[in-house]
């Protein structure tokens, strides 16, 4: 201010109103000087940019998340997968990648309608988030297909327990419009994604792929099996 320059506050500055409401602001301060150059004060200008910042945040969220379930979408799934692949080269833990399909979802859609199908998908999203760890990623890839990235698996028994817990959570009955509905999940190889990164990872790194119908079995890249 002493130099006579217009300055602004830091980005993402918040102004709290007398009612306690937070408003995002963009501001600047310009000096007021007397004819002899003496600094008399400053003019502060505030612009309310709450809606603009919210719109920007909403667009960023929509670009990376499935709007129906709130889960990460395919783009964010691939991004997290790439990060997990890079991280596994620095660790001795396993990285498990799988595709989760819902068995019986089409029948629910046909019998109860798409609105009930949407409710079912949201409930599955809630259950799977609760069943998995904070470091795990489950993403909706489209329809009733979900992608899984499960890092930091230290032994195959832990992988089996985590997979069983996930499938059991999905298989619990749910009430839709007065109807008790039961579906199941199946976990399989990510080959349907058609990603070169998966092929490269499976060949060069200790990545394990789920092959899980009702009973859990896990197949590694070197064809070792554990029932």
| Residues marked as catalytic | 144
d(CA 83, CA 35): 59
Tokens describing residue 77: 């799934």
d(CA 55, CA 60): 9
Closest to 54 (Cα-Cα) out of 18, 23, 17, 16: 23
For residue 13, the tally of other CB atoms under 10 A from its CB is: 14
Closest to 218 (Cα-Cα) out of 187, 195, 196: 187
Torsional class of 120: left (φ above 0), alpha (ψ -120 to 50), beta (otherwise): alpha
CB proximity list for 108: less than 8 A, separation 6 or greater:
116, 117, 120, 176, 181, 183
Query: What are the angstrom distances between the C-alpha of 118 and each of 2, 102, 145, 148, 177?
Result: 60, 13, 13, 20, 12
d(CA 25, CA 12): 7
């Amino acid at each position: 201010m002493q130099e006579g320059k217009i300055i602004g506050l830091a980005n993402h500055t918040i102004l709290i109103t007398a009612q306690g409401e937070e408003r995002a602001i963009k501001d600047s301060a310009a000096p007021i000087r007397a004819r002899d150059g003496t600094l008399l004060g400053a003019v502060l200008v505030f612009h309310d940019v709450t809606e603009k910042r919210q719109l920007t945040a909403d667009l960023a969220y929509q670009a990376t998340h499935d709007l129906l379930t709130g889960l990460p979408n395919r783009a964010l799934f691939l991004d997290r997968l790439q990060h997990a692949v890079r991280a596994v080269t620095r660790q001795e833990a396993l990285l498990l990648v799988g595709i989760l399909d819902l068995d019986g979802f089409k029948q629910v859609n046909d019998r109860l309608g798409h609105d009930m199908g949407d409710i079912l998908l949201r409930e599955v999203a809630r259950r799977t988030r609760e069943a998995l760890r904070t470091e795990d990623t489950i993403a909706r890839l489209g329809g009733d297909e979900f992608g899984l990235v499960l890092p930091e698996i230290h032994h195959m028994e832990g992988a089996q327990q985590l997979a069983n817990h996930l499938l059991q959570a999905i298989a619990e009955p749910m009430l839709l419009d007065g109807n008790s509905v039961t579906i199941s999940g199946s976990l399989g190889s990510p080959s349907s994604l058609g990603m070169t990164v998966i092929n490269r990872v499976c060949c060069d790194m200790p990545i394990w792929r789920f092959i899980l119908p009702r009973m859990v079995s896990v197949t590694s890249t070197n064809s070792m099996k554990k029932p």
